[in-house]
Amino acid sequence: MVEPLDIDESQLIDPATVPGELGEDKEIVLPAPGRKTAANPVWVAKAEGIWLNTLAKQAWLYERPIVGGKPTFRALGTTSLKYAKEERIRRIAARRTGVEPTAKKTRDSATAGDAIRLYEKADYPDKQLNQRPAPMRDSEKNNCSMLLGFWDNVRVGKITAATSDDYRTWRIRKLKRKTSGTRTVDLELTTLNNAFLYAERKEVVSHNPLANRPKYHDKKKVRHCREFMPEDADELHERAAHLFGRSQSVVLGFQYLAEAYTGLRTCEVLRWGSGKYGTFTPDQKCMRVWRCKGQHLVNPYCTVHEGLEALLVAHAKWHNHFHPASPWFFPSPKNDARPVSIDLLAHALALLPGKKVTSHGGRAFYVTVRRSHGISDSRIAHEIGHTTGGSTLASVYGGVPPNWTDGDGPKLSWLPTRRPAWELMPLNFPL
């Protein structure tokens, strides 16, 4: 930012006293500081409110605002008269709102929009400045786009809990679907919090004003994945049978059962076929897997129990018959050189008739089956990659009935009492 020039007003000639009108052939001049004559002019008026310093090395154009009650010269940042006029108009409009556009930006004068755009430019890094997974980056991008509609010009020093309350009201009014919207508000404010954390680290803002932000979604209304899991193997395969009923969604049927039989997330099972993931130990009792969220070293294997073994046998026959050249366990129906899209299973399950089930509900099914056999939560936690000793399982998947831990649980089966879903494929090849 160009510093204002300190010029004694008593040494300048008021342009209004200069004979003639400002036009193409007329110029209003001010004398050089320290001189009482119009000879050797320094400041020449090139247009209304726009001045040229004739002694400057470059033909920069200036405006003549009153800042802090004192007239001063401020550079318009251009030598083009056209752009100088546009910039002067922009600054006049800003000053009418009480904002001095030429003031030096400090960390206290930065806006939430400055923090959001800095976060966008850095491609939404996490707390360790590492790149987030692609789906998370897309989510952060969408949230930032919405946040700018409200927060763009809100100064960091003016943000309070009441500002978050105002955003909640503003955001809920814009929702189109029939929900309370509070979960959406919390997720978007989390993105704004991430932006402030990054901006504070880069010294763009002096503090994170959302560090103690209010939460708007009632925890009692949170619906966990256990609410969308099949109750037993029969229901699991009844849900999967809808996917096996069409040739284009057979791959999703295998994927859904694989998630339920291993407790892995969608992004984790879709890595099978890339390098060492999806390979077996020499005794064929364990499969090498990858786990997201930095959990891949907690337990890099999953156990091949009877249900998973039967699934893998059927999958191998189907894969060898229809996708023999694909390295992926779950190849895309449109291009088997690539794995199936990460969100395709969730979309397909949402369209199934009857009881609602979700992809993550398969993880809850795995936990429930293991618990029914009297396996401790601490052991199950390590089986699905957790290091919390089972506390997360209790909060997400609910408590365990006391008789289950004593070995008197229902001992749920991995396989259905009826035909497994993969035998219902309308495909002409032998299983």
Q: What is the pLDDT of residue 168?
A: 93
**Does residue 177 or residue 323 have the better pLDDT?**
323
Amino acid at 421: A
Residues near 280 by Cβ (< 8 Å), separated by ≥ 6?
286, 287, 288, 304
Torsion sign (Cα): 11, 14, 20, 21:
positive
What is the DSSP annotation of 367-413?
HHHHHHTT--HHHHHHHTT--STTHHHHHHH----HHIIIIIS----
Query: Which residues fall within 8 angstroms of residue 316, CB to CB, at 6 or more apart?
Result: none
Q: What is the DSSP letter of 37?
A: S
Q: Which residues pair with 331 in a beta bridge?
A: 339
313-355 per-position pLDDT tens digit:
999 999 999 999 999 999 998 888 999 999 899 999 999 998 8
DSSP letter string, 11-30: GS--GGGSSS--BTTB-EEE
Round to whole Å and give the CA distance between 431 and 423.
Answer: 7
91, 101 Cβ separation under 8 angstroms: yes
Query: What mean pLDDT is reported for the chain?
Result: 83
Mapped onto helix, strand or coil, the DSSP state of residue 149 is helix
How far is C-alpha 281 from the geometric centre of its chain's CA atoms?
Answer: 37
Residue 374: how many CB atoms within 10 A of its CB?
15
Phi-psi region of 20 (alpha: psi -120 to 50; beta: other; left: phi over 0): left
Give the helix/strand (H/E) hosting 329. none
* Res 68: pLDDT: 75
> Using 50, 70 and 90 to split pLDDT, how confident is the model at 310?
very high
Report the pLDDT value the prediction gives residue 365, as an integer from 0 to 100: 93
Greatest CA separation found in the chain?
106
39-88 pLDDT, tens digit per residue, is 556 788 888 889 888 877 788 899 988 877 788 888 888 889 999 999 99
Q: Express each pLDDT in 207-264 by its tens digit.
A: 899 988 888 887 766 666 678 889 999 999 999 999 998 888 999 999 999 999 999 9
pLDDT interval class at 23 (50, 70, 90): very low
Beta bridge partners, 29, equal 44
pLDDT of residue 312: 95
Tell me what pLDDT residue 178 has.
62
| pLDDT at 140 exceeding the cut of 60 | yes
In the chain, the domains with their CATH numbers are 9-96 (no CATH), 112-221 (1.10.150), 226-424 (1.10.443.10)
Per-residue pLDDT tens over the stretch 376-425: 888 888 888 877 766 777 777 777 888 888 778 899 999 999 999 999 88
CA nearest to 258, candidates 380, 365, 381, 397: 365
CA distance 275 to 308: 21
